[in-house]
Amino acid sequence: MALAVFLLASVVVSRLVARAQRRAEDAEARRTELEALYDLSIDLFAATNRVGALGEAAGRALRTIGASGGGLVLFRDGLSEVVVSVGVGLDARDPLLESVRRAGEAAEVPAADGTRDVYLPLAVGGRASGVLIVRGTRAERNALSSVGRLVALAVERERFLAERAHLDALKESDALKTSLLRAVSHDLRTPITSIRLGLDRLKRAPGTTGIVEDVARETERLSRRIDNLLAMARLDAGTFVPRPEPAPAADLFRATLDALPLVLAGRDVQVSVDPETPDLYVDPALTVEILANLLENAALAAPAGTPLALVAGPSPLDTTRVRIDVLDRGAGVPSAIKREATADPGDAGRTGLGLTICRSLAHALGGSVCLLDRTGGGTLARLDLPAARGTQEST
Amino acid sequence: MPAGALRILVVDDDLSIRRALSAELGGAGYDVLEAADGAEGLRLFDAHDPDLVVTDLAMPVADGFELVAAVRRSGQTPVIVLSVRGGDADKIRALDLGADDYVVKPFSVSELLARVRAQLRRHGDAPAASLLEFPGLTLDRDRRRVVVEGREVHLTPTELAILDLLASQAGKPVTIRQIIGRVWHGAPGTSADAVRVHVGSLRKKIEPDPARPRYVVTEPWVGYRFVAEPI
């Protein structure tokens, strides 16, 4: 009896000891897992402050949880991309990936040796951004889920870091473009200024013939072309924002004529502004640039002695627009430009830089330019621009 | 150097521009001093008391703004600044600091000489002349009468105040802020648009050909300028 009691007791005790030992082992395993998770979280968040470090960290995560292999697949723009692959190569077209992404739940594939392959969806706030594949693991599902959540957060963080780096780069390149354009602008205009001042002096020197006038006129053109190209470059670089203000057409016309003293020397330019014309709402400098280009083209196209005209009026169909016409009695719209209307836009070489620039600048002002054959011969360049509200001169 | 010639201080860090300006202004009969930066400009200004200053804005040592402010602190010597295209914020800043006018690079000699003459004349004028006479336009400030091409035109008090402000400083750009300050006495809520409406109706009354304004022109982003030269 005593023996039986002893035996029973020893069985109970040994079971209790075994249970305690199992619990101790479990606790030890949990502790190891927790430690691993802790290390992993440090690894993922403290050590990956740079873009691109996620891959290495995910690889270490797999080793930490005792996986024989696996990797990280991210979904980007509707495509699966293998970011990390440890051991047997991963296939981005693995059908399990797609079903895990859709369901948003983990999938397990048991193996004969008691291990399993686990596909963990990486989801932060709903949609899965990728899948962590853990091959040949014996780890608890809970531990794996924790790892999955950590890696998911790390993926989001990496995405954020990449975005921020991209924004920083954009800002930096904008600042660079702006300062570059400013330097180019200064370096081009300073010599033009001294050339002009020198030419003014040469003009008065005895014995100089028409050649100084020719050089002066070409310098004026060059100067304007530089203005055009710098304006285009600024618009293109996104570093230039037009600054519109209410501008009376008469002032824009006056500034346009002032900008072309040599091109228009000896030419008759008829200027008329319909009394009902509202002020325009435009960037005055850009508008004068467009008008100067159009008027210069008109002066080049029309025979000497024929008058040019600048005409402003309210747009007949739209009270919020102003129409400005630049007219000449030249040969009409060049056939190359007529062809261009139907084919191959952007071919500036064939139709001249001037019109292409005018179109871009007008577009930036919320307007448009078109060329028409003028009744009775010649070209009519029509500029359509926004009108200012409430500041009409006809009050 | 002609005896009794008016003295002009030219400040620009670009040697070729400085040399060209010096030659042109010298050729026009002025006595010219040259400085390569704002600090040197201010030294020459203090030492030689020029009648007018022409200065670039962007310079390595003490820029044009500092020079404008320093010149204005010491008196009413007219200052013309050399601005670059697109530097409208700079222009307004220089005008608000007390600059009298600007020309935009690249400018012509005749343009600069005209501005120089206008500033020297304005500066030499007796203050508060009661009769302002321009080709085709007379403003009798005491009787508050305006005659254009021999006919009296009737202006509202606001239009008259604007015309008086602009014509009494003929040739000088006047900023919208200055107009609001002088005509509306800085009344809060006075907008640039209100100024534009009144200037618009003033122009309708005094400009013989509205398509070709000859008295009041817009200075984009800045304000207005009365352009006719006094008789």
Same domain membership, residue A142 and residue A253: no
| Least confident segment among A19-23, A355-359, A363-367, B18-22 | A19-23
pLDDT for residue A70 is more than 90:
no
B 118-177 near A (Cβ less than 8 A):
none
pLDDT tens-place string over residues B184-203 = 987 878 888 899 999 999 99
Q: How much is the mean pLDDT over chain B?
A: 89
Same domain membership, residue A343 and residue A246: yes
Does residue A32 sit at the B interface (CB-CB below 8 Å)? no
Residue B231: inside a domain, yes or no?
no
Same domain membership, residue B137 and residue B118: no
pLDDT of A6 reads 74
Residue B106 has its nearest CB partner, among A201, A223, A284, at A223
CA A162 to chain CA centroid, Å, is 16
What is the percentage of chain A residues whose pLDDT exceeds 70?
90
Residue A267 near residue A299 (C-beta atoms within 8 A): yes
Q: State the smallest CA–CA distance between residue A93 and chain B in angstroms.
A: 56
Q: State the smallest CA–CA distance between residue B77 and chain A in angstroms.
A: 25
Helix (H), strand (E), coil (C) string for chain B: CCCCCCEEEEECCCHHHHHHHHHHHHHCCCEEEEECCHHHHHHHHHHHCCCEEEEECCCCCCCHHHHHHHHHHHCCCCEEEEEECCCHHHHHHHHHHCCCEEEEECCCHHHHHHHHHHHHHHHHCCCCCCEEEECCEEEECCCCEEEECCEEECCCHHHHHHHHHHHCCCCCEEEHHHHHHHHCCCCCCCCHHHHHHHHHHHHHHHCCCCCCCCCEEEECCCEEEECCCCC
Same domain membership, residue B114 and residue B14: yes
pLDDT for residue B108 is more than 90:
no
pLDDT of B135 reads 94
pLDDT for residue A54 is more than 60:
yes
Same domain membership, residue B144 and residue B61: no
Residue A243 near residue A282 (C-beta atoms within 8 A): no
Pairing verdict, β B52-56 and A379-386:
unpaired
Residues 6 or more apart from A295 whose CB is under 8 A from it? A256, A260, A263, A264, A269, A308, A310, A326
User: Could you count the other beta carbons within 10 Å of the beta carbon of residue A180?
Assistant: 14
Contact across the interface for A189 and B196, Cβ inside 8 Å: no
Same domain membership, residue B210 and residue B153: yes
Same domain membership, residue B211 and residue B175: yes
Q: Which residue of A has its CA nearest to B18?
A: A194
Same domain membership, residue B149 and residue B61: no
Same domain membership, residue B47 and residue B19: yes
pLDDT for residue A296 is more than 50:
yes
Same domain membership, residue B70 and residue B48: yes
pLDDT of B3 reads 57
pLDDT of B223 reads 92
Alpha helices in A205-248 (DSSP H): 210-237
Residue numbers of the domain that contains B192: 131-226
Does residue A21 sit at the B interface (CB-CB below 8 Å)? no
Does residue A91 sit at the B interface (CB-CB below 8 Å)? no
Residue A97 near residue A73 (C-beta atoms within 8 A): yes
| Least confident segment among A105-109, A257-261, A351-355 | A351-355
Domain boundary among A140, A161, A182: A161
Contact across the interface for A197 and B21, Cβ inside 8 Å: yes
Does residue A169 sit at the B interface (CB-CB below 8 Å)? no
Does residue B210 sit at the A interface (CB-CB below 8 Å)? yes
Residue B139 near residue B164 (C-beta atoms within 8 A): yes
User: Where is pLDDT greater, at B165 or A197?
Assistant: B165
pLDDT of A4 reads 78
Residue A271 has its nearest CB partner, among B84, B105, B211, at B211
- Please tell me which of A88-92, A355-359, B111-115 the model is most confident about, judged by mean pLDDT: B111-115
Can you spell out the DSSP letters for A165-190? HHHHHHHHHHHHHHHHHHHHHHHHHH
The helix-helix angle for A284-301 and A249-259 (nearest 10°) equals 60
φ, ψ of residue A358 in degrees (nearest 5): -55, -45
**Cα–Cα distances in angstroms (integers) from residue A6 to residues A1, A11, A13, A16, A21, in the given order:** 8, 8, 10, 15, 21
Residue B195: inside a domain, yes or no?
yes
pLDDT tens-place string over residues A324-363 = 999 999 888 877 776 665 544 444 443 466 788 898 899 9
Residue B217: inside a domain, yes or no?
yes
pLDDT tens-place string over residues B153-186 = 999 999 999 999 999 888 889 989 889 999 998 7
Residue B139's Cβ-count burial label (10 Å; 0-12, 13-18, 19+) is buried
Same domain membership, residue B195 and residue B92: no
Alpha helices in chain A (DSSP H): 2-45, 54-64, 95-103, 141-204, 210-237, 249-259, 284-301, 335-340, 348-351, 353-364
The structure tokens listed for A264 are: 């228009």
Domain boundary among B94, B124, B154: B124
Residue numbers of the domain that contains A39: 27-161
Task: Report the domain count for chain B.
Answer: 2
Measured between beta carbons, which residues in chain B are less than 8 angstroms from residue A393? Answer: 200-201, 203-204, 210
pLDDT for residue A30 is more than 80:
no
Residue A211: inside a domain, yes or no?
no
pLDDT of B110 reads 85
The structure tokens listed for A360 are: 């871009």
Contact across the interface for B85 and A285, Cβ inside 8 Å: yes
Same domain membership, residue A342 and residue A246: yes
Same domain membership, residue B156 and residue B70: no
Domain boundary among B83, B104, B124: B124
Residue A339: inside a domain, yes or no?
yes
pLDDT of A111 reads 83
Residue B2: inside a domain, yes or no?
no
Residue B182, domain CATH? 1.10.10.10
Same domain membership, residue A272 and residue A151: no
Domain boundary among A161, A183, A215: A161
pLDDT of B126 reads 58
Residue A286: inside a domain, yes or no?
yes
For residues B55-72, give the mean pLDDT: 89
Contact across the interface for A251 and B211, Cβ inside 8 Å: no
Domain boundary among B73, B98, B124: B124
User: Where is pLDDT greater, at B197 or A172?
Assistant: B197
Same domain membership, residue A156 and residue A248: no
Residue A40, domain CATH? 3.30.450.40
Task: Report the domain count for chain A.
Answer: 2
Residue A33's Cβ-count burial label (10 Å; 0-12, 13-18, 19+) is buried
Q: A76 has which bridge partners?
A: A79
Contact across the interface for B86 and A395, Cβ inside 8 Å: no
What is the percentage of chain A residues whose pLDDT exceeds 90?
22
pLDDT of A391 reads 44
Residue B24, domain CATH? 3.40.50.2300
Residues 6 or more apart from B129 whose CB is under 8 A from it? B141
Same domain membership, residue B32 and residue B114: yes
